[in-house]
Amino acid sequence: MTAQPRRHRETHRSARTGWLRAGVLGSNDAIISTSSLMIGVGSSTTSEQAILIAGVAAVFAGALSMAVGEYVSVSAQRDTERADIARETHELATAPEAELQELAGIYARRGLDKELAMQVAVQLSERDRLGAHLRDELGIEHASLARPFQAAWISAASFALFALLPILGLVIAPASLRLGSIAVVTLASLAGLGALGGRLGGASMMRAALRVTVGGALAMAVTAGIGRLLGVAVG
């Protein structure tokens, strides 16, 4: 009696925070790629202008590539959904009896006995026949139909927003501490967002923060090493 409402509430919470958690996890890309590029360039030159240009270029390149990538992948998903809906609509129009049997079969496989499965199939079909087939046969919810433009601009905007953090680390620092400042701002941002992501996912905040911080530190160390080697070799 007490367990059920509580369980319902938790399910609800996880559905609502899903997109937020995805955004937090995606922000790692923006922070790590921008800071690594800036530190790589900064290890080969002392020019603040060069480091800043590298950072700004990283923001635009990353945001645009996120937008294009997301648009292409979500468009492909939407095309598949549209084709599925068209095929299902056609089947419902040409073979309604077979489709009803098919739907009842799906409910029977989920554990309802045969008669009840048919009753459920009939009643759900009366309300929204296409909707029932899309949801239970193909796993498509009307509300969740893929939206390529929305996915594209949201991922571009969130990339750009988070990629500004390492640039902030550059502009607030005195000349002698530039790279250290970028690294500190980057690691602090990663730790904070990692902990937040862990909390939203119901996992350990400490472990989530540590994982992404170590990953970010490694990425910056590698590009710093490469930048130094290239700076010596080319310069």
Tell me which residues touch Zn ion (CB under 5 A): 99, 133, 137
State the nearest-atom distance from the C-beta of 146 to Zn ion, in Å.
Answer: 20
Residue 146's closest CA among 69, 75, 84?
75
Distance of closest approach, residue 100 Cβ to Zn ion, in angstroms: 9
> Which residue, 140 or 212, has its beta carbon nearer to Zn ion?
140
Q: Which residue has its beta carbon closest to Zn ion?
A: 133
Spatial CA neighbour of 32 closest among 196, 155, 162: 162
Question: b or e along 107-128 (b: 16 or more beta carbons within 10 Å of the residue's beta carbon)?
Answer: bbeeebeeeebbebbeebbeee
With contact defined as beta carbons under 8 Å apart, do 223 and 36 qualify?
yes
Please identify, using beta-carbon distances, which residue of 100 and 220 lies nearer to Zn ion.
100
CB nearer Zn ion, residue 49 or residue 94: 94
Say if CB 152 and CB 71 are below 8 A apart. Answer: yes
Residue nearer to Zn ion on the CB measure, 139 or 202: 139
The least distance separating Zn ion from the CB of residue 76, rounded to whole angstroms, comes to 23
Phi, psi of 157 (to 5 degrees): -65, -40
Q: How far is the CB of 119 from Zn ion (least distance, A)?
A: 18
Residue 133 or 178 having the CB closest to Zn ion: 133
The encoded tokens of residue 155 equal: 């991922």
Closest separation in Å from C-beta 149 to Zn ion: 29
